[in-house]
Structure 1
Amino acid sequence: MNNDDVISTLNDLIETCKDGEQGFRTCAEDIKDAQMKSFFTSRAQSCAEAAAELQQEVRTLGGNPETSSSIAGALHRRWVDIKGLVTGKDDEAILNECERGEDVAKRSYETALGKALPANIKTIVERQYSGVMKNHDQVKAMRNQVRAAKGNA
């Protein structure tokens, strides 16, 4: 894989991280449960740190790192806002949208890991992918917990 391809792959992941950061911040603003709010705030910070790490790698490779989220991420957040107006932004709806965002992040990292990245960069991407999987599983578990509580109410 040539240097430009590695930079392009990393910039795609930076956008994914920025999307995650903004998505988690939006969820933190809208969710009612204090513990979930804290979780989302923490995850937003982790996404920001992951983006910064990837931006440094792009600089090391001599490239210009991406600094913003993707258009698709912005559109997804807008859709979440519109859907929230219709559903009243209940916690289950927010968690459903958050999980959908994490599905996108999983696919982005899986695509990157399918490429012939340099070993040092692949190690970073694998570590971050592990974090994405953990986020996804935690969001899904919280959503299932909220859904179960609704069923028992």
Structure 2
Amino acid sequence: MARDVTTVLNDLIETCKDGEYGFRQAAQDAHDPELKTLFSRRAADCAAGAAQLQEQVASLGDEPEESGTAAGVLHRGWIGLKTAVAGRTDLAILEECERGEDVAKSRYQAALQEDLPPQLLALVQLQYEGVIRNHDQVRELRDRMRAHA
């Protein structure tokens, strides 16, 4: 059972790392100072989430993931390509961040369907709620920016 649990947790660590890198890139590329601050905070939140999960994997006696996924690397590359082509607009950055959070939501939803011990299930649920808040905040900002475009 520990291998299955650590596999689930390591998948979520990769998801958190993808979010951290994606939000860090978004913070660098954003023009609006408020968005830069928001994206920097979200990157820090994702890093903290990954660290929490890494601690849990280590406590189970397994080796925690240290980096994101190959898809995340492509996603981050796509952020750069899309924002370059789109003139690096804040709207384009928000759209890509929302897409990244859609992926995170689906990965957390899948993890919540796994047979995790109660304390780990509670941690994953708490982090999932944070992903939902991030997603909804990014979507709201994107919608507001679209309305003013």
Per the TM superposition, whether the score is higher than 0.5 is: yes
Structure 2 CA distance for aligned equivalents of residues 145 and 29 of structure 1: 21
Moved over 3 A (4+): none
Partner of 1:28: 27
Code of the residue aligned with 2:15 in structure 1: it is T
Establish whether residue 16 from structure 1 lines up as the match of residue 9 from structure 2: no
Shift of 1:76: 0.7
> 1:16 is aligned with what amino acid?
T
**3-state secondary structure, aligned to 1:68:** coil
Identity fraction in percent:
52
Residue number in structure 2 paired with 1:134? 133
Partner of 2:39: 40
Equivalents in 2 of 1:59, 1:114: separation in Å?
Answer: 22
Q: Which residue of 2 aligns with 1:109?
A: 108
Give the CA deviation at 1:95. Answer: 0.4
Q: Is there any run of 5+ residues in structure 1 with no aligned partner, and where? A: none
| Alignment-derived partner of residue 120 in structure 2 | 121
1:78 counterpart letter in structure 2: G
Structure 2 Cα separation of the partners of residues 19 and 47 of structure 1: 8
> Partners of 2:92 and 2:34 in 1: how far apart?
17
> So what's the TM-score if we normalise by structure 2?
0.99
Residue type at the aligned position of 1:3: A
Q: C-alpha offsets along residues 88-143 of structure 1, whole Å, 9 cap, x if unaligned?
A: 11111100000000000000100000111100000000000000000000000000
Offset, 1:83: 1.4
